[in-house]
Amino acid sequence: MGARKRHSPRRGSLAYSPRVRAKSMEARIRAWPKLDSEEPKILAHCGFKAGCVQIVSIDDREKVPNAGKQLVSLGTVLVTPPVLILGIRGYSKDHDGLHAEFDVYAEDIPKNIAKEISLKNKQENAIENAEKSLKKIKEIFAIGNTNQERQLEK
């Protein structure tokens, strides 16, 4: 701003500070819920916001001033593509954070998807590595694919 004789208010918000470009366009889940049950459950699903709609409804509550009248409210349209589970990945934790220990892929992966992912080791070695490192494993996540066009090419 150069040399000024008077002060001026700041030009911009500090709400999103530092203002930098994101590392990736892909969203990620930063906090997973903790479960106490032993059975597997779905903790999250993939989806993105596609738009907004106006929802027109009739207020059916009796003791409100707008009883029987039309209400207009906003709604969000979420698109959730189909998810194909390809395998599982086990993570160990140390002072640097989570590190991938093993990947175990399903045997019947569609050919068009198998071309795009790199299978680093044979399936037998992956299962042996998983059994060896079970004591170190802190978390296990599913490896999934949400690309619709590739799934439809089966």
β 84-94/137-145 pair status = antiparallel
Is 87 a residue whose pLDDT tops 70? yes
Q: Which two tokens stand for residue 42?
A: 């779905």
Strand-pairing partners, residue 90, are 102, 140
Q: In sequence order, what are the residues at sequence separation of 6 or more whose Cβ sits closer than 8 angstroms to the Cβ of residue 94?
A: none
Asked which of 37-46, 63-72, 98-107 is least confident by mean pLDDT, the reply is 37-46
Write down the domain spans for the chain. Answer: 48-79, 84-152
Is 13 a residue whose pLDDT tops 60? yes
Alpha-carbon distance of 22 to 16, in angstroms, equals 12
CATH class of the domain defined by 84-152: alpha beta
- Segment 38-61 mean pLDDT: 87
